Amino acid sequence: MTIRKLCELLLPVLAIPVTIVFGYIVRRIIFDRLTRWSTKTRTQIDDILVSTLKGPFIIWFLMLGIYFALEVSKLPEKTVYIAGKILLLLGIFSIILVLANLAAKLIKTYSGRFEIALPVTSLTQNITRVVIFGVGILIILNVLGISITPILATLGVGGLAVALALQDTLSNLFAGFHIIVARQIKVGDYIKLDSGEEGYVTDITWRSTKIRMLPNNVVLVPNEKLAKAIVTNYYLPDKEMAVLVNVGVHYDSDLEKVEKVTCEVAKEVMKNVPGGVPEFQPFIRYNTFGDFSINFTVILRAKEFVDQYLIKHEFIKRLHQRYAKEGIVIPYPIRAINYEQEKAR
């Protein structure tokens, strides 16, 4: 075997490992510098780019090595052409995957800023991926020399039939998108439906909205029904909410003293109990001459919906203790019987 033939056999075999080693060295040099540079910047975009591109970098050099091996090999020209096309398609597909992962990480990292324009949910993340993969498929078809105009026309006709067959699914999809864009219900909000279900919104998917109830159960509400339901959102216009506690005192009570003592206890609860709003000034409003007591409502304030339970708990305990100390009576239910009237009968 001559040296020339030996080189012809060894070149395709050595092309792949040499290219991989070269790619590893290049990745080590480039990404080490990029990592040091990204740690000095305030933005997280460069960190996300470095972490996303670092993984598939060697895979791209592996594909490049296979391409070089095919070029220097003595395989039939048609085989080399087909293999090259396959490698090109795989390269484009890998780039699409990288872009999809990059978009998902950027959305997850900057979700707080994106909330201003569009809330981040599973539905919006999936829509982003679908758009990226759709553009990638069009690019692949263009590389293969396939005209996309007939395909789009076929999809238009077929899409109509699919839309009729999947009417319920599509109605939930568009209802979910409407809920997200309207921003009246967002992930993290505490809501209550007119059917009685209430809890925190954990996610809005293409079909349903997930609501985690206080007992830690999850309710799945179809987006179409949620869009039509009467919903109370306890986080709009903001999370703070009034906490109302109904109290009754004896008719012989000094109402001025009752108001003063009650407000003092309420202020103490607002300042010391977690979930209370310290700067809020509680107040009371007398409202009813009841059967056995003068009734009034104490108005407190909580930072969010679930805080009201601890606030009511502590307020009732401390108010009962303070009333006992001040001699203010909370009467038992009383029913008076007129014996003279009964005798007259």
| Domains of the chain by start residue, with CATH | 3-143 (no CATH), 147-237 (2.30.30.60), 241-326 (3.30.70.100)
pLDDT at 344 over 60: no
What pLDDT does residue 23 have? 76
pLDDT at 209 over 60: yes
Rounded to an integer, the average pLDDT of 203-220 is 90
pLDDT tens profile 69-98 = 777 777 777 777 777 777 777 777 777 777
pLDDT tens profile 213-247 = 999 999 999 998 998 899 999 998 889 999 999 99
Q: Are 292 and 332 in contact (CB under 8 A)?
A: yes
Answer whether the bond into residue 76 is a cis peptide, omega within 30°.
no
User: Tokens at residue 63, please?
Assistant: 């594909």
Q: Are 315 and 264 in contact (CB under 8 A)?
A: no
Nearest in space to 262 (alpha carbons), one of 230, 279, 284, 236: 284
What pLDDT does residue 206 have? 80
Q: CA-to-CA distance for 129 and 141, rounded, in angstroms?
A: 18
Q: CA-to-CA distance for 241 and 302, rounded, in angstroms?
A: 6
pLDDT tens profile 280-322 = 999 999 999 988 899 999 999 999 999 999 999 999 999 999 9
pLDDT at 46 over 80: no
Cα 172 to its chain centre, rounded Å, is 18
